[in-house]
Structure 1
Amino acid sequence: MRGIILLSLLALCQAGPYKPINVLDIMRRHDIMQQDAADDDDDDNNFLFPSWASPPSDAPDPDCPFACQCSLRVVQCSDLDLKAVPKNIPKDALMIDLQNNMIKEIKENDFKGINSIYALFLVNNKITKIHPKAFSNMNKLKLLYLSYNLLTQIPANLPKNILELRIHDNKINRIQKDAFRGLRSLHVLEMSANPLANSGIELGAFDGMSTLYLRIAEARLTAVPKDFPSSLTELHLDYNKIGKVEVEDFFRYRNLLRLGLGFNQIKFVENGSLASIPNIRELHLDNNKLRSVPPGLDLLKYLRVVYLHANSITRVGVNDFCPSGGNVKKVLYAGISLFANPVKYWEVQPATFRCVSGRRGVQLGNFRRK
């Protein structure tokens, strides 16, 4: 179940131009209905939302805020040019949609008494300040979307049971120590498109948290940060200014299954760097400045997909991808991309790709339709 949840969250997790969130689609995706009042104690079951016992009702809530729509315990107040959070949101609200408004501040009592909320969407507002106690009563909050705002730092006292935090496309240039402490249920952290440099990540910023997926793309990173959670299974640092990969870069991240370093300025990968991630399945190093195939790929027994296109690689050796001698690769490659490199493909020996599942698994040049 944990894997199913993660895949569902990742479908919504890529940063990019603002697109309105379809709240009803999220309801259908997760089969959200009215919560049974007695179903309050199932906090450890890894489900995104608990099971619902009561049938849904189509009758609108008479206490719904002006111009908003309220049904099935979902409060929709998007696209209303609101300058503040409405005062009379129903206390039993399950999902609150306030995206695409003009809200500048989240105050201490804006959500006071709304204790059963599972999803809060504040995307595409003008928020610069969130009171440290604004989320203090939200013990069941799972989805918190704060993207496309003007925040300069991570909000304080985030709910401990949150599963997904989206805070990309803000003005965050600093992550303070213990900013994520206690977030041991977090599966996805998306904070791309913030002006965050390595110097802006304080030592201990990620202490006390556990997460599976982390993406900090389109930032100002010049090296792989060394202080991310060791629980990571996916790390995406594409569209940064990373210039090289060093041996100590992945010491903490032995659980990585997918690593994204595309669209950086990487000129070389230090020998032994990839030995720290023996379980890696997918590696993105495309659109960099590599002049040779990174050393150590032949020792990654479970690596299935490697992207090396759009680099400056001039030569491919016969043992660059596949183990030699008595070593055995546990899983065959499904894809190796080498197109848009100055490789003389006629000089590449056929045995170079002996551990690829099929001939279509290798791309040395661009395919053109006649």
Structure 2
Amino acid sequence: MDTGRRGQSPLWWPLLFLLSLSSQLLSQAPLYDEEEMPALPPSPADPRGMCPAQCDCPTSEAVECGGVDLTAFPSNLSNSIQHLSLQNNRLEEIPYDELSKLTQLKTLNLHNNRLSSAGLPDEALLYLGNLQYIYLASNRLTIAPRILPRALRIVDMAANTLEEIFPLTFGEKPHLKSVYLHDNKLQSSGLPDSLFNGSDSVSTLILSNNLLSVAPRYLPLGLNRLHLQNNQISWIPKETFSQQLQLRELYLQNNRLTDPGLEPSTFSKLRSLEYLDLSMNNLTHIPVGLPANIVILHLGKNRISSVSEAGVSGIRNLEYLLLQNNVLTADSIHHEAFGKLRKLHTLHIYNNHLEHVPSSLPRRVRSLMMLNNRISELRFNDLVTTYYLNELNLSYNRLRSSGIHRLAFRKLRRLEHLDLSGNFLTVVPQGLPSGLKVLRLHGNRIDKLAEEALSGLGSLTELYLGENRLQGAGITPGSWKEVPVLQLLDLSGNQLTQVPPNLPESLEYLHIRDNLISSIPAEAFAATPNLRGLFMRSNKLVTLGISDKAFRNLKHLQVVDMTGNPEAISIHLPALQHTATEPTGEATDSFTHEDASRLETNETI
């Protein structure tokens, strides 16, 4: 259950969503676009006498036998059928004489059977001159059919054990649009140079999760999307991308590419390229000659040690630059590295070796991720040029309160999300932007909240102060009046002995688990009538210490977590939808920005 309002979604979330969509092809058969799945023609139903047993015949031209546990190919099929679905069965072979007579067939779906290459007769396929769609994914093919029909538009042979493709498997197919070959055992020696001769209309080619050591040469001229991730590619021949003027998406992550494996002109001709993923390789420098139209450039998890003035400055359409998990220092980033990139709004340079904020930051950056570095101070002018910044993540660095200049944030009038978790702060930093909505200070050493600690933060809706050193005496009751619209407050993992008094009336979600609270008096929540979620697990609570009147006015309360206390505690309210009183699994805490950052850092997207 959602336990807290998030406010405006962080800017990295659409990017994570985009990256997660592209990674589906690493382990799954592709999801076809509607135009790739042929629609059944409207026509009268076939008489049941002409329909094979266990099958369904929705029209006179279509036979549906998917998932009916067939072990043998249907023997009484009409020669006039155009669509035959036999997916999710146990077929081991297709009889030559049965298949070859289906000369009108346009769609043949044999996905997820037990077909071997010997069980699929090449010669029979030659008779299927009208065949446009063939689905052979998730079988046991070791070699591809030598010749496929010329009329083909879609071929799916993913998730087999293919080791070899022949020149006419995909060659001489002028109408071929999409080829899916991921999750096989293809090596570069198993792909002929003439693989796509006469098939320049292919726009989607998926070769991820194979054993290729060299990128394929002589790719189709009409290629729009190419997946080569999760191979063993160490070299890209200069002719590979010499004529692919329509290529928009290129995935090369998780290979063995090094700087010598890329020619200076490797990518320079790809004038339509918008997405390039070179993450998880062995690059030490940003490749030269990258096209100007790239929108997303992913270079994470390499060994890149510097960003020169010319490194990315020619990519004028660049919006997302991902440089996380490299070995960059602040001084190795040229002071004009991003100066010409007027569209660059998202920069990820986390998990590097930055000792301070780089002197070069994109002027229009809106999302800046610098977590997990070695930054120990925020100086007067470090953030002075980033007027458009909306989200700043400096968590898990080496920041101390004395190292943050009180005017360091003075120009960040658009900043809404600030993460300073996991540092060495002892107080809430001064001079934070007045428009801030989410402030994360989790995992620091803050031991007090003075009355003016939250001064000027009138727009704050979420405040995370968990895992600090706060005690009841260290929180000045008047400090909460500075945050009149606060909706979520996390004080978990501190040393509180009571529910803090005078909390904001606007508060909806209160996290105070893992403290030392032993009682809840009648007036504990008198100031917070709008509470919807209360999380007090793992405190010192006993039944006798809880007043029956404490929850009397909480008419909106929906979630209460009291697990992990010395006694099982039951709270009864008419409006209550869920009360956790015994350990039943993980707490229903909010999915936090830290969770998302951790997911991104671990590349599970």
Instruction: Name the TM-score class by shorter chain.
Output: 0.7 to 0.9
Q: What do residues 66-105 of structure 1 show as CA deviations (whole Å, max 9, x unaligned)?
A: 5588774112221221111111211221111111111111
**% identical aligned pairs:** 25
- 1:62 corresponds to 2:242: yes
User: Any conservation in 1 of the 2:12–2:346 contact (CA below 8 Å)?
Assistant: no
2:309: which partner in 1? 108
Structure 2: runs of 5 or more not aligned: 24-222, 227-239, 244-249, 251-258, 565-581, 586-605
How far does residue 301 in structure 1 lie from its aligned partner after superposition?
2.1
Shift of 1:204: 1.6
| Secondary structure in structure 1 of the residue aligned to 2:481 | helix
Measured after TM superposition, the shift of residue 359 of structure 1 is 6.8
Q: Which residue does 2:280 correspond to in 1?
A: 79
Q: Is the 8 A contact 2:498 2:518 kept in 1?
A: yes
Q: 2:506 maps to what in 1?
A: 302
CA-CA distance at 1:163 after TM superposition: 1.8
* TM superposition shift of 1:58: 3.3
How far residue 241 of structure 1 moved from its aligned partner, in angstroms, is: 0.8
Question: Which stretch has the larger CA shift, 130-139 or 349-358?
Answer: 349-358
* CA-CA distance at 1:9 after TM superposition: 3.0
Q: Secondary structure at the match of 1:250?
A: coil
Pairwise CA distance, 1:354: 2.0
* Structure 2 residue 153 is matched with structure 1 residue 151: no
- Taking the aligned partners of 1:333 and 1:306, their CA distance within structure 2 comes to 8
Q: 2:519 aligns with which of 301, 305, 315?
A: 315
Contact 2:333 2:360 in 1 (8 A): no
1:353 aligns with 2:520: no
Q: How many residues align?
A: 328
Deviations 1:154-202 (A, max 9, x none): 1224222222110100110011112222433222111111011111112
| Aligned-partner Cα distance in 2 for 1:251–1:8 | 24
Correspondence for 1:274: 480
Taking a change above 3 Å as real, the CA distance of residues 358 and 211 of structure 1, as seen in their structure-2 partners, is closer
Q: 1:167 to 1:211 in 2, by over 3 A?
A: same
Q: Give the 3-state SS of the residue equivalent to 1:106 in structure 2.
A: coil
Question: What's the offset of the Cα at 1:246?
Answer: 1.3
Alignment partners' CA distance in 2, 1:6 and 1:237 = 19
State yes or no: 1:162 paired with 2:365.
yes
Q: 1:363 and 1:80, CA in 2 relative to 1: closer, same or farther beyond 3 A?
A: closer
Residues 124 and 149 of structure 1 are in contact (CA less than 8 Å); yes or no, is this contact kept in structure 2? yes
Q: Does residue 118 of structure 1 match 2:322?
A: no
Q: CA deviation at 1:207?
A: 1.4
1:272-314: CA deviation from partner (whole Å, max 9, x where unpaired): 11111010000000110012211212xx221111011111122
Q: Hey, what's the Cα distance between the residues in 2 that align with 1:368 and 1:25?
A: 33
Q: 1:12 to 1:149 in 2, by over 3 A?
A: farther
Q: CA contact under 8 A between 1:92 and 1:117: conserved in structure 2?
A: yes
Q: Secondary structure at the match of 2:480?
A: helix
Q: Which residue does 2:20 correspond to in 1?
A: 25
Summarize the alignment of residues 330-369 of structure 1 with structure 2, pairs less than 5 Å apart. Answer: 332-357=530-555, 361-366=559-564, 367-369=582-584
Q: Choose between structure 1 and 2 for higher RCO, CA contacts under 8 A separated by at least 6 residues.
A: 1
Change (3 A) 1:359 1:229: closer
DSSP-derived class of the 2:549 partner: helix
TM-score normalised by structure 2 residue count = 0.50
Following superposition, the deviation at residue 113 of structure 1 comes to 1.9
The 1:170/1:359 distance shift into structure 2, 3 A limit, reads: closer
- Judge conservation of contact 1:280–1:303 (CA < 8 Å) in 2: yes
Is 2:312 the counterpart of 1:132?
no
1:292 aligns with 2:487: no
Does the CA contact (< 8 Å) of 2:440 and 2:464 recur in 1? yes
> Counterparts of 2:433 and 2:21 in 1: how far apart (Å)?
28
Match of 1:214 among 409, 418, 424: 418
2:403 aligns with 200
Contact 1:190 1:214 (C-alpha < 8 Å) held by counterparts: yes
Shift of 1:144: 0.4
**Whole-Å separation in 1 of the counterparts to 2:365 and 2:391:** 9
The amino acid that maps onto 2:458 is R
In angstroms, what is the RMSD of aligned CA positions? 3.0
- Whose radius of gyration is greater, 1 or 2? 2
Alpha-carbon distance in 1 for matches of 2:309, 2:525: 56
Distance 2:512 2:19 in 1: 40
Note the C-alpha offset of 1:266.
0.7
The whole-number CA distance in structure 2 between the counterparts of 1:91 and 1:81 is 23
* CA distance in structure 2 between the aligned counterparts of 1:173 and 1:341, rounded to whole angstroms: 34
